Amino acid sequence: MQHEAIPEIQAATTLEALQTVKTKYVGKSGLVTRELGTLGKLPPEERKTRGAEINAVRQAIQEALDTRETTLKREALDAQLASEAIDVTLPGLPLPAGGLHPINRVYDDLTGIYERLGYTVVEGPEVEDEHHNFEALNVPWYHPARDLQDTFWLEDGRLLRTHTSPMQIRYMVDHEPDLKIVVRGKVYRYEATDATHESMFHQLEGLVVGDHINMADLKGTIAEMARGLYGPGAKVRFQPSYYPFVEPGADFAVYWDNPRGESKWLELGGCGMVHPNVFKAVDDLREAQGKERVYEGKTGFAFGLGPERIAMLKYKIPDIRYFYANDPRVIGQFRGELE
């Protein structure tokens, strides 16, 4: 029996096959076990020698099984280690590089220009109250912007800011003049979207307050921004316009040479001299907080523009909705050029 079992054990190439051989010979009803069961029927004088013989066979088989099991386990482990081996000399996997969103690029261009002019860049809350968004900015209750159709109102009476101008108020309440700031951030308007209008977009707001600030300072500042954006030959145009928080108010446009060699006026935003009612509203808020009234009698200018407009022309993006559709085919074009 031992002569049959040993070659079968050697021939087993897996632990499962070895288990089958084990069961066949030394399992509960295996051949050797059954042989041991026959001892009781033998005459007592033969029983002892036969018992010793069978036990010797069983021991030999068991030893062969153990040796083979150890070998098979080692082989399995070696194979696993070989398959999981890491070649530390292989080059790494390339990680796709991110990129700056086109709006952030334009923001960085703009804030870079203003920082060089000594402005402080600030941000503010997107959820605003009616007082900061409208009232303190001299926007009368009958102004259409206050209408439900133009503003996203929250259930608690607050709203999503419709422009970055409320930050003029917040900053002045917290800081004394003289000051020069630009505000960057998202704004929201409840309006139908089309190729040039989104319900969420961005603005850059500027505010300068001091003594004897005049319209020439404002025009010079906007012209400096235009030159920073479009080169030394850039021209600016101002047209009278109405914004409740400035007097006089104007819209401004930049004349620039686009990449196709054409020259065009690009309407960029609104601006003007800060309305005295705005300074009064700021002083009222300051007084309510126990602060000194320091704005009445001051002069200043402000402006606000939409960076989407600049980005669409600069990067030839035909529809504003592409910016926020999260389509990797659009945003992916700006990958890997982190400045």
- Kindly list the residues in this chain that would bind ligand YSA in the complex (CB under 6 A): 163, 165, 189, 191, 197-198, 201, 203, 205, 243, 245-246, 269-272, 302-306, 308-309, 320
Least distance in angstroms from the C-beta of 154 to ligand YSA: 19
Q: Collapsing DSSP states into helix, strand and coil, what is residue 235?
A: strand
Q: In terms of CB distance, is 80 or 149 closer to ligand YSA?
A: 149
Least distance in angstroms from the C-beta of 97 to ligand YSA: 29
Least distance in angstroms from the C-beta of 86 to ligand YSA: 52
Dihedral sign, Cα of residue 261, residue 262, residue 267, residue 271: positive
Q: In terms of CB distance, is 136 or 320 closer to ligand YSA?
A: 320
Least distance in angstroms from the C-beta of 119 to ligand YSA: 14
Least distance in angstroms from the C-beta of 165 to ligand YSA: 4
Q: In terms of CB distance, is 58 or 189 closer to ligand YSA?
A: 189
Q: In terms of CB distance, is 171 or 303 closer to ligand YSA?
A: 303
Q: In terms of CB distance, is 8 or 247 closer to ligand YSA?
A: 247
Least distance in angstroms from the C-beta of 219 to ligand YSA: 13
Measure the CA–CA gap between 177 and 238, rounded to whole angstroms: 27
Tokens 């004088």 locate to 45
Torsion of CA 154, 141, 306, 165, to 10 degrees: -90
Closest CA to 252 of 239, 235, 242, 265: 239
Q: In terms of CB distance, is 62 or 193 closer to ligand YSA?
A: 193
Q: In terms of CB distance, is 24 or 175 closer to ligand YSA?
A: 175
Region class of 238: left (phi > 0), else alpha (psi between -120 and 50), else beta: beta
Q: Are 330 and 300 in contact (CB under 8 A)?
A: no
Q: Are 205 and 165 in contact (CB under 8 A)?
A: yes
Least distance in angstroms from the C-beta of 136 to ligand YSA: 13
Q: Are 121 and 115 in contact (CB under 8 A)?
A: yes
DSSP string, 67-111: HHHHHHHHHHHHHHHHHT---TTSPPPPPPP----HHHHHHHHHH
Side-chain-side CA neighbours of 261 within 13 Å: the count stands at 0
